[in-house]
Structure 1
Amino acid sequence: MFQLTGKTAVVTGAGSGIGRGVALLFAKAGAQVIVADLNREAGQQTVEEITAAGGKAEGLFIDVSRQAEVVNAFKQLDVIDVLVNSAGVSHIGRADTTSEEDFDRIYRVNVKGVYNTLFAVIPSMKERKNGVIVNMASIASSVGLPDRFAYSMSKGAVLAMTLSVAKDYISDGIRCNCVSPARVHTPFVDGFLAKNYPGKEQEMFDKLSRTQPIGRMAKPEEVAALILYLCSDEASFITGCDYPIDGGFIKLNN
């Protein structure tokens, strides 16, 4: 069960965090993994980790915010069976403290970046009458989070795009879903704590972990396991859905 043998999967943001976890797990499930990332060094490390373990992977070092770059890169691939949009950036701020520059940066990567990959991959999936897409949304798509104005905007857009794509291409054999994690322990979290709470990293890490009712942050591997299921044949009856993976945050945090 939950195998991707013989399939080619593009995973954006696969150089670190959740994207890296997805790429590693997909390779174990038999997929040919296209490790797409802006950071060539990080992406190449994921490729090397996969190949060292006997898996199949190659790097695709692109800026997802640039449509022509994405389209040209995807055209070089023979077949794309699966697309996972994991590339994204975060931001802390409210509507009146978010600069136009930061708002535009979040939009370019988190919203336009997803649109660009969809624009590039859907025509070939339509032609083959087959394809699976999973987008990375967030609990911020569904509930209000403090000081996350621009980030919440972008993830709300990801959820809406997911539903739109699922509706528009259901007769073309394309399934599209999204997952909505709460806090996940990634290098981004560690970097954020080191920058903003020097000397108090562990204290703040524990505090942030406790905001999830389950009492801890998710692991990238746990999110990756859900994404693998959604991309597998076992999930062939699932489309147009958002899957919170949040340690009880949305329903129990009251």
Structure 2
Amino acid sequence: MELQDQRALVTGATSGIGRETAKLLAREGATVIVTGRNPEGGAKTVAEIEAAGGRASFVAADMSDIEAVRRLVTEVGEVDVLVNNAAIFPFAPTIEQDVPDFDAMFDVNVRAPYFLTAGLVPKMLAKGSGSIVNVTTIAAAVGMPDSSVYGASKAALESLTRTWAAEFSGSGVRVNNVSPGPVHTEKVLAQNGDLVEKLGSMTQLGRTAAPVEIAEVILFLASPRSSYLTGTTITADGGAIAV
């Protein structure tokens, strides 16, 4: 198992991509800390991991609350793998975008991973090893109507991926990014079901991704198999932006 005896923290792991990522990391031997706002979802993720013979625990944390992020850093203490997956995406046209949702998206999608990374990376640097994986979106790279704030927040996280890779270079800590296209998750379907299915039909593969397909890419970036990758983005979009 590639992550034997490692500790991994996955944010937004109570459903969707985060849950599947937590399960895959545990399958590879990691002890996984599942975090999110939904205790029931967190308990489900932990139960599925333990049923498969893995090790996991749940820590409730609201990524929109900076004090909750700081408490999470203190409670977790030390990890070998950090997956910054938690995000919100209340889409709106620019001329209708309100300030509370604007602020919330940058709080969850940028500020939370920034200070979570800043809080946890010192111990990675001291050990001389670690992998940080950020999860963004193809909306960070291509113009998509009604996603101005969401796309901008994720573009900021992609920029941080490159900056952190440069800052932590030579330390043994790698920082990479996965940029999914349309993904078939509960949250996406609840908020934008018709849109995501339409986008999926327009990809080169003609469908949306299952969450586990994105989780497999995250596992690759977290594992020693990607040992020569840092500061890079893997676009997992079914060929949506290939042509």
* TM-score computed with the length of structure 1 as normaliser: 0.91
The Cα offsets for residues 124-148 of structure 1, whole Å up to 9 and x where unpaired, read as 1111111100001110111111111
Cα offset for 1:192? 2.4
Cα offset for 1:33? 0.5
Q: 1:211 to 1:64 in 2, by over 3 A?
A: same
Distance (whole Å) between structure 1 residues aligned to residue 150 and residue 192 of structure 2: 18
Cα offset for 1:73? 2.6
Cα offset for 1:54? 1.1
Alignment partner of 1:215 out of 184, 190, 206:
206
Tell me, yes or no, if the aligned pair for 2:84 and 2:133 is still in contact at 8 Å: yes
Q: 1:97 to 1:124 in 2, by over 3 A?
A: same
1:212 partner letter: T
Tell me, yes or no, if the aligned pair for 1:14 and 1:22 is still in contact at 8 Å: yes
Cα offset for 1:78? 5.0
Tell me, yes or no, if the aligned pair for 2:183 and 2:196 is still in contact at 8 Å: no
Q: 1:73 to 1:189 in 2, by over 3 A?
A: closer
1:129 partner letter: G
Percent identity at matched positions? Answer: 39
Q: 1:166 to 1:206 in 2, by over 3 A?
A: closer
Tell me, yes or no, if the aligned pair for 1:209 and 1:217 is still in contact at 8 Å: yes
Report the aligned-residue RMSD. Answer: 1.6
Cα offset for 1:28? 0.9
* 2:242 alignment partner, SS class: helix
Q: 1:50 to 1:119 in 2, by over 3 A?
A: same
**Equivalent position of 2:34 in the other structure:** 35
Distance (whole Å) between structure 1 residues aligned to residue 196 and residue 104 of structure 2: 26
* 2:86 alignment partner, SS class: coil
**Equivalent position of 1:169 in the other structure:** 168
Are 1:236 and 2:210 matched, yes or no?
A: no
Distance (whole Å) between structure 2 residues aligned to residue 127 and residue 53 of structure 1: 33
Are 1:53 and 2:52 matched, yes or no?
A: yes
Moved over 2 A (4+): 64-79, 204-209
Q: 1:78 to 1:110 in 2, by over 3 A?
A: closer
Distance (whole Å) between structure 2 residues aligned to residue 192 and residue 160 of structure 1: 27
* 1:106 alignment partner, SS class: helix
The Cα offsets for residues 72-103 of structure 1, whole Å up to 9 and x where unpaired, read as 33333353000001100112122211111110
Distance (whole Å) between structure 2 residues aligned to residue 83 and residue 205 of structure 1: 27
The Cα offsets for residues 164-211 of structure 1, whole Å up to 9 and x where unpaired, read as 1000011222100000000000001321257xxxxxx6xx66534212
* 1:161 alignment partner, SS class: helix
**Equivalent position of 2:63 in the other structure:** 64
* 2:32 alignment partner, SS class: strand
Distance (whole Å) between structure 1 residues aligned to residue 58 and residue 45 of structure 2: 9
**Equivalent position of 1:188 in the other structure:** 187
Tell me, yes or no, if the aligned pair for 1:64 and 1:117 is still in contact at 8 Å: no
Tell me, yes or no, if the aligned pair for 1:70 and 1:120 is still in contact at 8 Å: no
* 1:71 alignment partner, SS class: helix
Tell me, yes or no, if the aligned pair for 1:66 and 1:116 is still in contact at 8 Å: no
Are 1:98 and 2:97 matched, yes or no?
A: yes
Tell me, yes or no, if the aligned pair for 2:64 and 2:104 is still in contact at 8 Å: no
1:31 partner letter: A
**Equivalent position of 2:3 in the other structure:** 4
Distance (whole Å) between structure 2 residues aligned to residue 237 and residue 146 of structure 1: 36
Q: 1:156 to 1:168 in 2, by over 3 A?
A: same
